[in-house]
Amino acid sequence: MEQKIYDVLIIGGGPAGLTAGIYASRAKLSVLILNEGAVGGQMILTNEVANYPGVEKTTGYHLANSMKKQAREFGCIIKSNLQIANYELSGAVKNVELTDGSIYKALSVIIATGGKPRQLNVLGEDTFRGTGISYCATCDGEFFTGKDIVVVGGGNSALEEAVSLTKYANKVTIIHQFNHFQAFEYAIAEAKENPKISFVYNSVISQFNGNENLQSVSVKNVVTGDVSKLPTQGAFIFIGYLPNTNAFKGILDLNDMNEIITTSEMETNIPGVFAAGDSIAKRYRQITTAVADGTIAALSASDFVAKSKQHHLVMQN
Amino acid sequence: MLRTALHEIETAEELKKLISENENVMVCCGRMGPMCIPVYDAMEELEVEKPNVKFFSMAFDSPEAWIVRNDQACKGFMGLPFTMYYKNGKVAHATTSIQTMDKIKAVLKDKFNA
């Protein structure tokens, strides 16, 4: 039996991938989204979305589910929680192989693999995840009621979450690798005005220590090299995101931060392969910018597929 | 009240009944938060794939969830969700915080041979 060749294969089911799915399937193209995690991507990690135009206030989960439903209603097929083993993107027909051996074919591919929270990758991080280390203040904050905790990072997320954690914690120490913060002024001011928050600059965590639960962190001063132990029962880590692009090294053009380089039409260096969302090289990473990227990628892919089919017809005649 | 496609256990008595009537049971006790949703999502997919395991959710903030919150296997847990694996009515394994599909599958295979 001849295998179906989709018009558009979308890798990733976050806001960029789902938007591309909505646009491409509404344009009557056959569209398949392959998603390695839960549909919604980083969007579902956002508890409150208050700046999505036209939606006064919602949760990332609701917004993701609405986008998923909308894409499915236009005929887009979504497969999630799978693992991709191999990409063959250079030919006229692109192949994507899963770890279970199944192969999906398409005339065009949109890469919308997004990003993942950056980890410290130091000793003890895996051991104490869920027993002292957390990446979500809203989820786990109350477990640290009355306790002394640390927050790692210097961006908006780190400072805003540190302030929100003072609702529960007795004391919050922000550990930051530089002597200045990258966060917006309002976030810095709010953190500095909070009497429960203290700061340790020019420092990184070199190890998490404890028995069943986290008991202390080893803090290394990056200027002097000195290491000291800071007793703590909790550590919240907010140090940004990494693009999910490892699979495309040597296939697509990436910049030095491993982000996919695209044109303004979301084209990559391979004809018929487009990219959108947090995995591409750009400055601002918001749900709205991912949605915009996904729209452009879908329209570009539609145009590419139409031209490919036209070319195929001409060659046949 | 959780909003997943999984059957939500509402009382401690219901949980006791379900684990006494089913050999292999997985219960994710959490909220509709970013660490919990991926686990529910994986369970919804596995529910179709693994008929010899029963998959349920339970609201962490329900007073009835004491049965999970106070379980000895959850001692020291400080991250949602608390995910319980019951074999023949007894706790076979428990995890804290977000889990990937691969990690869940590994536990199902190891504890339930599923």
DSSP string spanning A114-169?
Answer: -EEE-----BTTTTTBTTTEES-HHHHGGGGTT-EEEEE--SHHHHHHHHHHTTT-
Does residue A82 contact residue A36 with C-beta atoms inside 8 Å? yes
Cross-chain Cβ contact B79/A129 below 8 Å: yes
CATH homologous superfamily, domain A133-237? FAD/NAD(P)-binding domain (3.50.50.60)
Strand partners, B86: B25, B91
**pLDDT at residue B1, rounded to an integer:** 81
Does residue A96 contact residue A11 with C-beta atoms inside 8 Å? yes
- The domain over range A5-117+241-316 is classified in CATH as 3.40.50.720: no
Cross-chain Cβ contact A135/B31 below 8 Å: no
**pLDDT at residue A42, rounded to an integer:** 82
| Closest B-chain CA to A130 | B79
CA gap B29, A75 in Å, rounded: 33
With a cut of 90, say whether residue A244 has pLDDT above it: yes
Answer whether residue B1 is part of any domain.
Answer: no
Among the listed residues A139, A226, A253, A303, the single catalytic one is A139
Q: Which residue has the tokens 């006229």?
A: A92
CA gap A196, B109 in Å, rounded: 46
Mean pLDDT, range A121-145, rounded to an integer: 92
Long-range pairs, A303-310, Cβ under 8 A, ≥24: A304/A107, A304/A108, A304/A271, A304/A272, A304/A274, A305/A7, A305/A8, A305/A29, A305/A107, A305/A108, A308/A92, A308/A107, A308/A108, A308/A272, A309/A107
Is A136 catalytic? The answer is: yes
For B5-38, letters b (16+ CB in 10 Å) and e give ebeebeebebbeebbeebebbbbbbbbbbbbbbb
Q: Tell me how many domains chain B contains.
A: 1
Closest to B39 (Cα-Cα) out of B98, B82, B102: B98
Per CB distance under 8 Å, which residues of B are interface residues toward A? Answer: 31-38, 41-42, 45, 75-80, 95-97, 100-102
Distance from the Cα of B34 to chain A's closest Cα (Å) equals: 4
Mean pLDDT, range A247-258, rounded to an integer: 96
**pLDDT at residue A268, rounded to an integer:** 98
Tokens of A285: 């990473």
Q: How many CA atoms lie within 13 A of A239 on its CB side?
A: 19
With a cut of 90, say whether residue A178 has pLDDT above it: yes
Among the listed residues A76, A100, A126, A136, the single catalytic one is A136
Is A140 catalytic? The answer is: yes
Contact residues, A window 200-219, toward B, CB-based 8 Å cutoff: 212-213
Cross-chain Cβ contact B79/A139 below 8 Å: yes
Mean pLDDT, range A116-142, rounded to an integer: 91
Q: pLDDT category, A317, cuts 50, 70, 90? A: low
Asked if A236 reaches chain B (Cβ–Cβ under 8 Å), the answer is no
Asked if A38 reaches chain B (Cβ–Cβ under 8 Å), the answer is yes
Q: Residue B95: give the domain boundaries.
A: 7-109
**pLDDT at residue A81, rounded to an integer:** 81
Mean pLDDT, range A21-26, rounded to an integer: 98
The percentage of chain A sitting over the pLDDT mark of 90, rounded to a whole number, equals 80
Answer whether residue B73 is part of any domain.
Answer: yes
Does residue B85 contact residue B92 with C-beta atoms inside 8 Å? yes
The percentage of chain A sitting over the pLDDT mark of 70, rounded to a whole number, equals 98
Answer whether residue B2 is part of any domain.
Answer: no
**pLDDT at residue A44, rounded to an integer:** 79
Mean pLDDT, range A116-123, rounded to an integer: 90
A5-117+241-316 with A133-237: one CATH topology? yes
Spell out the per-residue pLDDT of chain B, length 114, in tens: 887 889 999 999 999 999 999 999 999 999 988 789 889 989 998 998 999 999 999 999 999 999 999 999 999 999 999 999 999 999 999 999 999 888 999 999 999 998
Mean pLDDT, range A128-142, rounded to an integer: 91
Average pLDDT value for chain A: 94
Residues from chain A that touch B79, judged by Cβ atoms under 8 A, are: 129-131, 133-134, 139-140, 143
Instruction: Write down the domain spans for chain A.
Output: 5-117+241-316, 133-237
With a cut of 80, say whether residue A316 has pLDDT above it: no
CATH of the domain at B18: 3.40.30.10
Considering only residues A47 and A259, tell me which one the structure prediction assigns the higher pLDDT: A259
Q: Are strands A273-275 and A214-221 parallel, antiparallel or unpaired?
A: unpaired
CA gap B72, B67 in Å, rounded: 10
With a cut of 90, say whether residue A196 has pLDDT above it: yes
- Dihedral of the alpha carbons of A165, A167, A171, A172, in degrees to the nearest 10: 20
**pLDDT at residue A2, rounded to an integer:** 63
**pLDDT at residue B59, rounded to an integer:** 96
- Per-residue H/E/C for chain B: CCCCCCEEECCHHHHHHHHHHCCEEEEEEECCCCCCHHHHHHHHHHHHHCCCCEEEEEECCCHHHHHHHCCHHHCCCCCCCEEEEEECCEEEEEEECCCCHHHHHHHHHHHHCC
Mean pLDDT, range A250-276, rounded to an integer: 97
With a cut of 80, say whether residue A1 has pLDDT above it: no
Answer whether residue B114 is part of any domain.
Answer: no
